[in-house]
Structure 1
């Protein structure tokens, strides 16, 4: 028996759904490129703070090394039937340089605080593009942000 597909969401509803996911989800996938073009894909916990995604990882991990080298990353939330893909500029921030509000928010949401641990660093991801869709009927309107500006 074939299932009925939901009607395509309007752009404003998709943006609202993306913002809710950014506020409520705990983990996302982070993809960065190494110097030889090899890709590093890892799950990391995050906080959405004032339009920026904030993660933490070790200073020597490929994600940090690659983000520092290229200044870019691709992030993904959700599953294949409700995906959000974000292309972002990456800013590596020493854990003693992270803002109190960001650090407190991260520690509060995730019950984990790496401030004061020199081996750890934060990475801020500033979204450049945001795409979101559920089914093929939402592919035509999947671009919600371009060049860091919401389209809806």
Structure 2
């Protein structure tokens, strides 16, 4: 044992798990373990934000380009909504993010940029703030007109 965190994080993680299981707590790399545990939560938050940005970008395209609506967009909306609901059910502590104005604003900026790029229009042509609640966005029956 003794792989450094910086050299090989996977080998390090396996060693740390073995030390934990063996009850060798004094040999643990506590600081890096704490960082990794925090990163797990951040990873879940990033996944939710990424999926919401994709979902909102597609809702924007749905609303702004009705002539291009099709099965592909509908499938993307369904897949993202299902994945978001699964993530929220598995990690209920993420639910408050759906009503956090700062988080929504950051994620909306990503969605706007993505939609503008995909629609080949200026981002200024899209709403500055999200016109829908996150509850509406993840509702499988919701399609903006």
TM-score range relative to shorter protein: under 0.3
**Structure holding more helix per residue:** 2
Could you state the TM-score of these two structures normalised by the residue count of structure 2? 0.28
**Structure holding more strand per residue:** 1
